[in-house]
Chains A and B, each alone.
Chain A
Amino acid sequence: MALLEVKNLSISFGGLRAVDSFEISIQKGQLYGLIGPNGAGKTTIFNMLTGVYKPDSGIIQLDGKDITGKKTIDINKAGVARTFQNIRLFKEQSVLDNVKVGLHNSYPYSALASVLRLPKYYKAEKEMNEKARELLKVFGLEDKENYLASNLPYGAQRKLEIARALATNPKLLLLDEPAAGMNPNETKELMETIRFVRDEFDMTILLIEHDMKLVSGICEELTVLNFGQVLAQGKTKDVLNDPKVITAYLGE
Chain B
Amino acid sequence: MSFIAYLINGISLGSVYAIIALGYTMVYGIAKMLNFAHGDVIMIGCYVVFTMTSGLQFNPLLSVLISVVVCTVLGIVVEKVAYKPLRKASPLAVLITAIGVSYLLQNIALLVFGADTKSFSSIITLPALKLAGGKLSISSVAIVTVVTCVIIMAGLMLFIKKTKAGRAMLAVSEDKDAAQLMGVNVNGTISLTFAIGSGLAAIAGVLLCSAYPTLTPYIGSMPGIKAFTAAVFGGIGSIPGAFIGGIVLGIIEVLGRAYISSQLSDAIVFAVLIIVLLVKPTGILGKPIHEKV
Contacts and interface: CB of A to CB of B under 8 A. Distances in A.
B291 to A, nearest CB: 10
A84 interface: yes
User: Is the contact region of chain B dominated by helix, strand, or loop, or is it mixed?
Assistant: loop
B293 interface: yes
A50 B293 CA distance: 11
A84 B293 CA distance: 8
Contacts of A47: 293
A43 interface: yes
A214 interface: no
Nearest to A82: B293
Contacts of B293: 43, 47, 52, 84
Nearest to A52: B293
Interface in A33-54: 43, 47, 52
Which size bracket describes the interface of B in this complex?
A: under 10
Interface string B261-293: 000000000000000000000000000000001
Interface string B145-158: 00000000000000
A21 B227 CA distance: 50
A9 to B, nearest CB: 17
A43 B293 CA distance: 8
Interface string B166-201: 000000000000000000000000000000000000
Nearest to A86: B292
Contacts of A52: 293
Contacts of A84: 293
Nearest to A47: B293
Contacts of A43: 293
B292 to A, nearest CB: 8
A47 B292 CA distance: 11
4 contacts: A43-B293, A47-B293, A52-B293, A84-B293
Closest 4 pairs between A and B when the two form their complex, measured CB to CB: A52-B293, A47-B293, A84-B293, A43-B293
